[in-house]
Amino acid sequence: MKLMTMILGLAAAAAVYGAEPAVREPNADQAEVKAEEPATVPAAKVVPAEPADEAPAVRVGKHTLTWGDLRRRTEAILAMRGGTHEAVMRPMVMSMVVEQFAFTAVALDAVERYGVTLSDEERAEALKTVEAETGMTLEGMLAQAPMSEEEAMADLELSLKLQKLIAEQVDSKITVADADVEEAIAKTKEEAAAARAEMEGYAKAIAEGTATIEDLAKEHSPISEAIEFPLDQVPPGVAKALETLEIGKVSPLFEEEGVAALFKVLERDTAAADPKAAIEAIAERLAKGEDFAAVAKAESDCPSSAEGGNLGEFGRGMMVPEFEKAAFEQPVGEVGEPVRTQFGWHIIKVTARDDAAGKVTASHILKMAKPATVKAVALLKPCPTELPDAETVREALKAERIAEGQQAFMLELEKAAGEPWIDPALERIAWGPKMEMPPLPEAEPAAE
């Protein structure tokens, strides 16, 4: 579904960023201000006092988040971000802290209610899995946490216990019968045949002149208007055809990556530019001794150019893989060889690295790639192009049922934790989560 997902994403972005702000015309009665009306002085605004640190900000069952803890955790997260855009980020971070507290309260009650414990072997095995998934050591994870090491370890321990609880109460109980697999395969075949027949009918109507792709797209496609998209984001076969398709003509019917599609190219810009030559020229200048920060300010296509290419400190998983690999492997203080990523070509200079904590401080120079683009009308229809084997279907059904089961289980845990109380003062400081929960059910006894 990559093709449809990509085009739908571009359409959504265009709708958001391409919209023009509405301008309200003045009412005719308000066009002129009467001279005889005296000017009024607005009343002084009364600013409510900030709640005291020991005052409760949020309560979930027997658990309380004080205003002091809320402020402390918020400031710790903001500090990790380098203090940028604090005015905008603070209410968002406060909301995140509240959500995390509510989740932690639910989890604490759940593991206590079910009597969940971890043996040393279970804990060690779970930590190995976490380290393998994150690519970070335990020490590195603790160093990046916006809290004390003791608090971070407690959160990690709770997370491991909750995972064990969910695995026991949900995951281990999910099964998929052979009949369910056969039914899913048969349904997929039927849907594919119906979608293919529908799209073939559209292609025939367009060819015979009884319908236009514009009208059909408005009525049947998830994208009703023409959209511009880069060719490197669509399957190679589609991209190659759209590069040469005559402007104004409708393409043959494509069936790629789970989507059947017809296109009509309206505009095309194939002057794609690979900035490799430009980045190599910059590398030569740096090798001759030019100042990295000065060159970054003059040449980099990244917003960080204003800071001489400085990206500040970042950890594993925060950059694309190619960039991260170079930043964590090249020598500190040296200018690395050009690196290619999905964004273009980079030259990286690492100024500090803490391998134990999994953190790097670096600057870079970016020359962005300019992909070939087309503007086209796209008539799209989901259409399975390859039928999966039985085992793949079984695993997909199991994963779907596990996800549904986990969601239902977590809702039950939230019910058991009770409806949270949130200080109304949060409404003027942060847009806290709307946690509406049903009445508290009777709790099950803890497992022996």
pLDDT in tens, 33-63: 444 444 454 444 444 567 899 999 999 999 9
Domain ranges of the chain: 56-173+409-425, 178-272+373-387, 276-368
The residue among 431 and 319 whose pLDDT is bigger is 319
Whether residue 16 has pLDDT greater than 80: no
| Average of per-residue pLDDT values in the chain | 83
Fold of 276-368: Chitinase A; domain 3 (3.10.50)
Average pLDDT over residues 369-387: 86
Provide the pLDDT for residue 12: 53
> Residue 288: enclosing H or E segment and its boundaries?
none
pTM summary value: 0.58
Provide the pLDDT for residue 112: 95
Q: Which ranges of 252-366 would DSSP assign to H, the alpha helix? A: 276-287, 292-299, 321-329
Provide the pLDDT for residue 24: 36
Provide the pLDDT for residue 11: 52
Provide the pLDDT for residue 88: 76
Cα 86 to Cα 429: distance, rounded to the nearest angstrom? 13
Whether residue 207 has pLDDT greater than 60: yes
pLDDT in tens, 126-169: 888 888 888 888 888 887 777 788 888 898 999 999 999 999 99
Return the minimum-mean-pLDDT range out of 266-270, 370-374, 425-429: 425-429
Whether residue 315 has pLDDT greater than 70: yes
| DSSP sequence for 164-205 | HHHHHHTGGG----HHHHHHHHHHHHHHHHHHHHHHHHHHHH
Provide the pLDDT for residue 273: 62
23 φ, ψ (degrees, to nearest 5): -120, 120
SS3 for 40-51 is CCCCCCCCCCCC
| DSSP sequence for 63-97 | EEEEHHHHHHHHHHHHHHTTTTTHHHHHHHHHHHH
Average pLDDT over residues 107-135: 91
pLDDT in tens, 165-177: 999 999 999 999 9
